[in-house]
Amino acid sequence: MSVAVAPVLPMLFAQTRAQLLNYVRIPAFSLTSLALPLVFYTFFGLPNAGKHFPDGTSVGLYLMCSFGAYAVSSVMVFSFGIGVANARGLKLDLLQRATPLPAPVAILANVIMAVIFALVALVVLIFYVVVVGGVHFPVEIGLEIVGLLLIGALPLIGMGMAIGYTSGPNAAPAVANLIYLPMAFASGMFVPVGDLPDFIQKVAKYLPTYHYAQLAYTPVHHADEPLRWALLWSAVWAVILFAAAIRAYRRDALRKFS
Amino acid sequence: MTAAVELIGAHKSYGAVQALRGVDLAIQPGEVVAMLGPNGAGKTTSINLMLGLRKPTSGQARLFGIDPGDRRARSRCGVMLQESGVPSSLTVREVIDLFRSYYPHPAPTAKAIEMAGLQEQARTQTGKLSGGQRQRLYYALAVCGDPELLFLDEPTVGMDVESRRGFLASIKDFAAAGKTIVLTTHYLEEADELAQRVVVIDRGLVVADASPREIKSRVAGKRVSFTTDQPLPPDALAGLPHSGLEIEGLRVRLLSNEPEAVLVALFRRGVGLQDLEVVGADLEEAFVTLTSRSAVAEEVGS
């Protein structure tokens, strides 16, 4: 026999392709990921799209950062949270475990799938803001926002995985919504943090989603904290949330595979 | 020659439950082996150890002479598990293509589809398949990597008579190509039809390991029941080939693989019979012979 194991790259490609096809065909996931940010922008962003802050920054652009952060973070939390819980519910993990597919390839395919989805959601949102909102900004600013939102999404993947490995398929959507939506709200993704009640403002400063949104505001010079602080906070949250995800994964694996 | 599959003194406990209590088993390349036993006997646990899905509490499992979790060993196996799932919105063909990418020398997609008899469902989303079709899809996924070794854990569960027949024929073709097959089943006739070797497992131990013909001769094939006109004398059945005797008032039930001899002897001994029934014993009943023997062996051993 010439080759003992299958090459990893085609396997990764096939796995990613299968994940993408599967998610595209679940409208509850694909449609809401793409459409909800537009719906929210229509409500909160469009009425203010033409206005400017005293420093000259476009309010429409600022709100694009907010809903961009919402778009990417919801893709990450829901695709991993509900996706992993569903896969466990369907017993996908049992069969997959018996095949030669290495676990890191399966996880990487999930990450690539989620990044592609997030990217599409961002591009659709930016297109909408530019065309419908009439907001204009240099391409570099747009690229910087997209780049920071994708890099900063790491802790949210950890949060999604932690939810996915602890909740069943029926509970996961509720758990993900109950944990993530209030966090997104408190972090200023819908209403600027400064307009929220005092105690929420105090709590918000510790949330991963808050620092994630701060990353998005950096290119438009409206972040409350320097970029390095937002990155540091995100890194700390990534460590915490991935530790929780790995712990939940191990507990699940121990029950099924030891 | 390296055994394809090996369990060496394998013990497995789940908490206080001892699922396997020291199993030694070597399966050579090209063998078709049926693992037979009642529910909870340890068949699935054995398969899980062989595949590296679970680790033995003590003892060893080897797949092609190496650790079963090793990707090189896994790449030579196809698996049909009792509990498994596939992404529900992918079509049959898409899932098979995905699984083919896991193996170094996969079979053509069309061949896997044909072997499982799913030509008409190739474009159907897996979530819309019937139970039997789903079971055949898992078979397609097990063979799509063109494995040398196939594990089938209760493969015909949920299949109707028709698809079961076609399915067994496909497994036979696969075996005829010189492949190794390890399957678990509840059905003696299924084991008889497919396997050259039957390993009977009960309460975590191998209680018999022989050809299907030999096993059949050792297990009680028929259940005999009748009503007597007066209570059966204690020595009425002495020296007759039977087991699993139950007497409820005048109703007598027993297991035997020579029911004719038992009945002839009863008539000769002047026992009057009514409501006589002789039917094929189901597996649970048939195994009373083998398993009571193992219980005796255990008592003698301890």
The per-residue pLDDT for range A153-189, each reduced to its tens digit, is 999 999 999 999 999 989 999 999 999 999 999 998 9
What secondary structure does DSSP assign to B32-83, as a single string? EEEEE--TTSSHHHHHHHHHTSS--SEEEEEETTB-TTSHHHHTTEEEE-SS
State residue B208's pLDDT score. 87
Q: Are both B40 and B184 inside the same structural domain? A: yes
Q: Are both B37 and B177 inside the same structural domain? A: yes
Q: Are both B68 and B163 inside the same structural domain? A: yes
State how far Cα A96 lies from the chain centre.
25
pTM above 0.90, yes or no: no
State residue A145's pLDDT score. 95
The total number of structural domains that make up chain B: 2
Q: Are both B161 and B30 inside the same structural domain? A: yes
CB atoms under 10 Å from CB of A72, counted, come to: 29
Helix, strand, coil tally for chain B in percent (to 5): 35, 30, 35
State residue B21's pLDDT score. 92
Cα–Cα distances in angstroms (integers) from residue B222 to residues A61, B57, B241, B257, B262, in the given order: 82, 38, 11, 6, 11
Quote the domain boundaries for residue B269. Answer: 220-280
State residue B300's pLDDT score. 42
Reading the block at residue A110, the tokens are 């999930």
Q: Are both B198 and B231 inside the same structural domain? A: no
Give mean pLDDT, residues B55-74. 93
State residue B296's pLDDT score. 45
Is pLDDT larger for residue A67 or for residue B258?
Answer: A67
- Distance CA(A160)–CA(A176), nearest Å, equals 8
Question: Cβ–Cβ of B90/A5 closer than 8 Å?
Answer: no
Q: Are both B171 and B126 inside the same structural domain? A: yes
Is residue A81's pLDDT more than 60?
Answer: yes
Is residue A26's pLDDT more than 90?
Answer: no
Could you tell me if B203 and B41 are in contact, meaning their C-beta atoms sit under 8 angstroms apart?
yes
Is residue B278's pLDDT more than 90?
Answer: no
Using CA atoms in the order B285, B289, B294, B300, what is the torsion angle rounded to 10 degrees? 130
Could you tell me if B92 and B129 are in contact, meaning their C-beta atoms sit under 8 angstroms apart?
yes
Question: Cβ–Cβ of B102/A95 closer than 8 Å?
Answer: no
**∠B85-A103-A258 over CA atoms, to 5°?**
75
- Does a structural domain hold residue B37? yes
Q: Are both B231 and B269 inside the same structural domain? A: yes
- Does a structural domain hold residue B250? yes
Is residue B298's pLDDT more than 50?
Answer: no
Cα–Cα distances in angstroms (integers) from residue B45 to residues A99, A191, B42, in the given order: 17, 55, 5
Question: Cβ–Cβ of B87/A18 closer than 8 Å?
Answer: yes
Is residue B299's pLDDT more than 60?
Answer: no
- Local confidence band at A41 (pLDDT 50, 70, 90 cut-offs): very high
CA–CA min distance A154, chain B (Å) = 25
Mean of all residue pLDDT scores within chain A? 91
Question: Cβ–Cβ of A3/B104 closer than 8 Å?
Answer: yes
Report which of B137, B1, B133 is spatially closest to residue B64, judged by C-alpha positions.
Answer: B1
**Max Cα-Cα span within chain B:** 71
Q: Are both B109 and B14 inside the same structural domain? A: yes
State residue B45's pLDDT score. 92
Residue with tokens 């690539």: A112
Give mean pLDDT, residues B137-147. 95
Which chain A residues touch B69 with a CB distance below 8 Å?
Answer: none
Beta strands in chain B (DSSP E): 5-14, 17-27, 32-36, 58-63, 77-80, 149-153, 180-185, 197-202, 205-210, 222-228, 243-248, 251-256, 273-280
B-chain residue closest to A11, CA distance: B101
Q: Where are the domains of chain A?
A: 8-257
The per-residue pLDDT for range B204-258, each reduced to its tens digit, is 999 889 888 787 777 767 888 899 888 887 777 888 888 778 888 888 888 887 8
Q: How many residue pairs bridge chain A and chain B with CB atoms within 8 Å of each other?
A: 93
A-chain residue closest to B98, CA distance: A14
Query: What DSSP character marks residue A42?
Result: I
Query: What DSSP character marks residue A10?
Result: H
Could you tell me if B150 and B107 are in contact, meaning their C-beta atoms sit under 8 angstroms apart?
no
Number of H helices and number of E strands within chain A?
A: 11, 0
3-state secondary structure of B267: helix
State residue B271's pLDDT score. 84
State residue B289's pLDDT score. 64
Is residue A3's pLDDT more than 80?
Answer: no
Question: Cβ–Cβ of A3/B105 closer than 8 Å?
Answer: yes
The per-residue pLDDT for range A101-156, each reduced to its tens digit, is 998 999 999 999 999 999 999 999 999 999 999 999 999 999 999 999 999 999 99
State residue B297's pLDDT score. 45
**CATH number of residue B150's parent domain:** 3.40.50.300
Q: Are both B103 and B241 inside the same structural domain? A: no
**Max Cα-Cα span within chain A:** 71
CA–CA min distance A197, chain B (Å) = 44
CA–CA min distance B186, chain A (Å) = 22
**CATH number of residue B276's parent domain:** 3.30.70
- Single out the residue in B201, B217, B233 at which a domain terminates: B217
- Distance CA(B155)–CA(B79), nearest Å, equals 10
Q: Are both B147 and B19 inside the same structural domain? A: yes
- Distance CA(A43)–CA(A255), nearest Å, equals 46
Q: Angle A208-217/A172-186 helices, nearest 10 degrees? A: 50
Question: Cβ–Cβ of B81/A95 closer than 8 Å?
Answer: yes
- Distance CA(A153)–CA(A159), nearest Å, equals 10
State residue B286's pLDDT score. 63
3-state secondary structure of A84: helix
pLDDT over 70 for what percent of chain B? Answer: 92
Helix, strand, coil tally for chain A in percent (to 5): 80, 0, 20
Give mean pLDDT, residues B88-94. 94
Q: Are both B117 and B255 inside the same structural domain? A: no
State residue A1's pLDDT score. 47
Is pLDDT larger for residue A20 or for residue B163?
Answer: A20
Q: Are both B210 and B244 inside the same structural domain? A: no
Q: Which of A1, A18, A97 minimises the CB distance to B98?
A: A18
Question: Cβ–Cβ of A257/B53 closer than 8 Å?
Answer: yes
Question: Cβ–Cβ of B86/A26 closer than 8 Å?
Answer: no
Using CA atoms in the order A50, A55, A61, A66, what is the torsion angle rounded to 10 degrees? -120
Could you tell me if B195 and B224 are in contact, meaning their C-beta atoms sit under 8 angstroms apart?
no
Q: Which H or E run contains A13? A: helix A8-24
- Single out the residue in B217, B238, B271 at which a domain terminates: B217
- Local confidence band at B110 (pLDDT 50, 70, 90 cut-offs): very high
- Distance CA(A59)–CA(A65), nearest Å, equals 10
Q: Is A1 on the interface with B (CB under 8 A)?
A: yes
State residue B288's pLDDT score. 64
